Amino acid sequence: MIKLENITKIYSNNNEQKALDDVSLQINDGEFVAIMGESGSGKSTLINIIGMMDKETAGTYLLDDVNISELNLSQREKKRRENISFIFQQFALVKRYTIYENVELPLIAKGVPSKKRKVKIMEALKALGIEDIANKYAMNTSGGQQQRAAIARAIVSDSKYILADEPTGALDSNNGEEVMKLLEDLNKSGKTVIMVTHNENLAKKAGRIINISDGKLRF
């Protein structure tokens, strides 16, 4: 369970502007939440704080009843490694790595032995139908394939929470819908999915929509 209490984020290098302003929010396990809002409204900031890529300026963040706000950097990194998977708009693959190697990263981070890694990776690639491009370099694959690889990467790490920042933003509608389908499947398999999107049709498929503007939640 994710619980944000009065979270504020200020970027000191950006006119002391509040990217998030007193945000309180609870997301239960197994939910599929869509976050919507204008550009610059603070969606990515929110999802980055939930994913512990960034630290809030004020407020309390509880993840599964653990007070994340009180943890130090390496403790937070450990929490993230164990609980969070990211999917980004621009796919976020290391371009000079193969698809296989990209999917391998979270497993390396977790210290999984290489034989076990191989089994898991091939399983995930097969599930997404991209096993035949496993050894292609990421930069030589299409956007749809890359986003599937990014989802495969989220699958292999078997994290409880999947955070997707505009996962379909750079894809055509066919591919976008397919990715949406995959996220729904993940949600059905028990993962909590939090997705930022501009697409209202896709957002409607989520169990809940959270609107954000100027760093504040609107209901």
Ligand X SMILES: Nc1ncnc2c1ncn2[C@@H]1O[C@H](COP(=O)(O)OP(=O)(O)OP(=O)(O)O)[C@@H](O)[C@H]1O
Q: Which residues would be at the binding site for other proteins (CB under 8 A)? A: 44, 48, 51, 53-54, 73-74, 77-78, 80-81, 84, 86, 88, 90, 92-94, 96, 105-106, 108-111, 153, 157
Rounded alpha-carbon distances, angstroms, from residue 151 to 8, 57, 63, 90, 91: 30, 30, 22, 12, 9
Cβ-based neighbour number of residue 175 at 10 Å: 17
φ/ψ of residue 36, rounded to 5: -125, 155
175 binds, among ligand X, other proteins, Mg ion, none (CB under 5 to 8 A by kind): none
- In angstroms, rounded to a whole number, what is the distance separating the alpha carbons of residues 109 and 158? 13
Stretch that binds ligand X, among 8-16, 69-77, 143-151, 178-186 (CB under 6 A): 8-16
39 binds, among Mg ion, other proteins, ligand X, none (CB under 5 to 8 A by kind): ligand X
Residue 208 interacts with ligand X (CB under 6 A): yes or no: no
* Paired strand residues for 7: 23
**Site map 21..60 versus ligand X, x via CB under 6 A:** ----------------x-xxxxxxx---------------
- In angstroms, rounded to a whole number, what is the distance separating the alpha carbons of residues 87 and 75? 22
Residue 129 interacts with ligand X (CB under 6 A): yes or no: no
157 binds, among Mg ion, other proteins, ligand X, none (CB under 5 to 8 A by kind): other proteins
Angle at 33 between CA 219 and CA 143, to 5 degrees: 125
